[in-house]
Structure 1
């Protein structure tokens, strides 16, 4: 029986908890949960390119900043060399590239479908249990900001000492203000080292209730960071969520594995319920006479979940009038305003107060900072109207490079396509459109039906409707082409793939 089979078969909670404390100083494994969509940071964050992949604050993306969050850890525990990242299939290539860009050799688990954070952590626990001698998982969202890493490390060190003994530990943030955008943790009895027992988790409250929580001193914000032994997590999931446990174990056992990632078997994984760590486990502790202990450790490290534009404003440096900005922005007589120019144009704010102004290539958001939580509702309306701005940017990244939709109209669309050196689009055909390609720079290797030929700068070709074709960059510099599509239907779903180096067929 291998390790996955052994933990999958574990049904005796007492035995599992006892065994979990017998391994001396197990390693810490950083688990990055990168499956969110971040709709409240629209129009910058979108379904196909969410906030964790964007440089919301600073020069690195939020995902890259999270990857480096355990660097320099000097606690009592060894850190496993490679973090585990759990992400969706639609974000895998961007996640892989961002890890490689900063020299991180991450182990990436690609979810076949979104099932929220509890199944994601279960997949990570199966990986860590099999490969790291029942490691202590340090699970953190990919889209948060933390200013003081030393304070974070101290909190994790303390949390790991409780997790080593079998507790399920979360980091709680003593609240600075009433906030309706965060979940809360009601504190139980105090422990000698400053940690507290967890009495219960509380969902995002209304404003009046949030004020009561903060004034009582009995509640901390829920940071979404959890520290737990892999075996303990798997056992508690089996007890509280047996269908989820079974689906994840079967999907993991039948996963496809490559040097870059693990892809759990889709059919099995789709049998898992969709649920968060909070609902699936943390709210169940103590309700069913379980033997599991919930502990919360204080985190005072300048934490923010960056769940709204107001939270971004809160986390940023501001001028003497309380304004914060990204990109080409000018303020004149403005105060308490956040402005971001994403598309490179000059964004001028005159006399604004308490506003959020965000500009991208294809959308502009203007919102009162006190109403930024309603952006999520706005995005739902945009999606219900089947407008593309809800899900994709004008510039769409692909594993081979990107394309930028320059113009479109009745029966035509114009794109700028950039293929990186060595990049190759899939061998494909379209039922409803023809394509004209003009090479602007670089060299294109074109497959068209039975033909294969090279195109240089200022040369062009025509791809008739229904003909198999492929575009490749055999050169050492990026290939840039202009593509003009014409036809009755120009949607991205009009693609039949026959061969693809990135595994997107079938």
Structure 2
């Protein structure tokens, strides 16, 4: 039985503005109603497997936990990386963790941000590769290329062995002439980033070829602590870990590597043009999401989150409209979206980092209006959830309950605020909100004061919910 390892890291740059650093693409619903993380988990339906291990950035932990909860999926742990160190250390942490769960599990390593449309072909390839992994091979999947893609890395195959091919090398994204040569040679596959291997075999080969990564991950995990649903590895130890990919740290060096061909309509959705490629289109080859009207517009991807978007006389464009940003780009130029994100970072603009709507373990909040000296937020709490007990020193808050029932803790008092009722929280007072009901609690929060930013907050250290942030 396989133990899935789902890599759910990401920087949120390639599909900006829909993805952000604190809400990258694996948490978005881009190719269906479920998010890409949820689709990755559901892809395992026809494969015998244990509950997955998820490894993600610490900043994404509540999003991961909530998306698992929505599927009613349990995990064998959500491992938190305090800093991204590429895939070799991430898998090392996961593999070492799984050896505490099972004697020597066979791991199916998946990225949380891929699309695979041919589930039968995927399942068949996984079952074939599992038998190789059970025989102590390190197996990766090579996507059979159908055109000279310059946005993917490639795997060069060697001799045919054991139902696959030996691995000669991994190569980075090529230019178009090199990609054409790769395709014509018949010896190259797109690098899928999917692996199957025994945990013990990966660790053994990592010790052999990258001992420093092994030591850092072993020690960081040995000093890990459990926090709610999460496993926090030691940040000081892990920060010293070398950064490398599974490909270069182990797979290129080992004698146990095998690449198995995979033809399952795979995509890593690495750009808006790639998403257009795999999306359903209308009679004008447009993919339209949300409230969109077009006139004489062709070959375009247009997405609207909240308002009407109208496009006239366009061909081959991408338009992405969100609550706080709009992207308009030539479809052939969308790889340069990362340049825009870098400019936003340099200017310290919040739009590179997060959406207007921010997710918390208890729910979410969304800024719906603001001006000098005031800010209005929509706040939602899940049933049975509670915010941390906290104090603000530069602002007051007025809460109006729109739907549900709020249980308010105010200094040493506790009282109920029902639908269509309100309450007032002055500055300098300890307070928290709880949803004691069975339906979501919706609140309009009106802040006023001289300073309204999120860092005007002191969470009480003795409050159990303070560690949720």
Q: TM-score range by the shorter chain?
A: over 0.9
Moved more, 305-314 or 496-505: 496-505
Give 1:363's aligned residue.
325
Q: Is the 1:37–1:47 Cα contact (8 Å) retained in structure 2?
A: yes
Residue matched to 1:252: 221
Q: CA deviation at 1:81?
A: 2.6
1:59 aligns with 2:33: yes
Shift of 1:391: 1.2
Structure 2 unmatched ranges of 5 or more: none
- Which of 441, 444, 450 lines up with 1:482 in the alignment? 444
1:322-376 superposed Cα distances (whole Å, 9 cap, x missing partner)? 2122222233222211111122x22222222111111111111111111111111
In structure 2, what is the Cα distance between the partners aligned to 1:138 and 1:31? 6
SS in 2 for 1:307: coil
**What is the CA distance between 1:473 and its match in structure 2?**
1.6
Q: Is 2:18 the partner of 1:49?
A: no
Q: Is 1:31 aligned to 2:5, yes or no?
A: yes
Please give the alpha-carbon distance, in whole angstroms, between the structure 1 residues aligned to 2:468 and 2:71.
Answer: 29
Rounded to whole Å, the distance in 2 between the matches of 1:327 and 1:58 is 13
Q: 1:259 Cα shift? A: 7.5
Indicate whether 1:341 and 2:304 are aligned.
Answer: yes
Query: Are 1:87 and 2:56 counterparts?
Result: yes
Q: Residues 349-498 of structure 1: matches in 2 within 5 Å?
A: 349-498=311-460
Q: CA deviation at 1:502?
A: 4.7
Count of equivalent residues: 467
Q: What is the match of residue 218 of structure 1?
A: 187
Aligned to 1:318: 281
Give the TM-score, by structure 2 length: 0.94
**1:295 maps to 2:258:** yes
Deviation at 1:108, TM superposition (A): 2.8
Structure 1: 5+ residue stretches without partners: 1-26, 74-78
Instruction: Report deviation, 1:34.
Output: 0.5
**CA separation of 1:465 and 1:298: change in aligned 2, threshold 3 A:** same
Give the Cα separation in 2 of the matches to 1:108 and 1:266: 18
Q: Distance in 2 between matches of 1:383 and 1:431?
A: 29
Cα deviation, residue 192, structure 1: 5.9
Give me the whole-angstrom Cα distance separating, in 2, the residues matched to 1:503 and 1:299.
Answer: 46
Secondary structure of the residue aligned to 2:51 is: coil
Give, in whole Å, the separation in 2 of the partners of 1:441 and 1:158: 52
TM-score (norm 1): 0.87
Seen in structure 2, the aligned counterparts of structure 1 residues 410 and 35 have a Cα distance that, compared at 3 Å, is same
Moved over 4 A (4+): 499-503
Equivalent position SS for 1:59: coil
Cα contact 2:80–2:230 (8 A) shared by 1: no
1:210-289 residue pairs with structure 2 within 5 A?
Answer: 210-257=179-226, 260-283=229-252, 285=253
RMSD: 2.0
How far did 1:147 drift? 0.4
Relative to structure 2, which stretch is displaced further, 251-260 or 311-320?
A: 251-260
Cα deviation digits, residues 462-503 of structure 1 (max 9, x gap) = 323332221112223322222122333322233221155456
1:106 aligns with 2:75: yes
CA distances 1:237-256 after superposition (whole Å, capped 9, x unpaired): 22222222112112222322
Separation in 2, partners of 1:50, 1:39: 8
